[in-house]
Each structure stands twice: as C-alpha cells, then as structure tokens.
Amino acid sequence: MKATIRSLAMVATLASAMLAACSQEVSHTESDKPGWFGERKHEETTVYKNPDGTISTEHSEQKYGGK
C-alpha cells in the first residue's frame, strides 16, 4: 500500500514538473491574402514564451489555388 502511494506521489510530481516546463502561447495570428497569379496565400504566426523567459516565434506560409 505504501509503495503504491509513493509511486503515485512520484508520478504526480513528475507530471506537474512537465506541465510547468511547457511553453505558453502569447499570441497567434492568421491571414489569407490573394497572390499575383490567382492563388491564395495563408500565413500563420505564433509567439511562445518559454519557461526560461525567452520568446520563440513560429511562422508558416501556404499557397494554394491558382494555375
């Protein structure tokens, strides 16, 4: 019984440490714009604040449609 409680306590401690170490999303923007040749351009930008205080930016572009 004590071993089970001890194991559960260790799992709970590790899980809370892993959650605290995750990045937090600060902002997210999306846009759709027409391109030169009839295609559409979709852009997404997401900004994260990391646990160590640094900022990370993730940017993606997709083009679809057109000729």
Collapsing DSSP states into helix, strand and coil, what is residue 43? strand
* Global pTM value: 0.58
Task: Give the count of domains, the chain.
Answer: 1
In a domain, 15, yes or no: no
Predicted local distance difference test score (pLDDT) of residue 19? 47
Cα 47 versus chain centre, distance: 8
Per-position pLDDT tens, the chain of length 67:
666 666 656 656 555 545 456 889 999 999 999 988 888 999 999 999 999 999 999 999 998 886 6
Range of the domain at 67: 23-67
Collapsing DSSP states into helix, strand and coil, what is residue 15? helix
In a domain, 37, yes or no: yes
In a domain, 8, yes or no: no
CA distance 39 to 48: 30
In a domain, 49, yes or no: yes
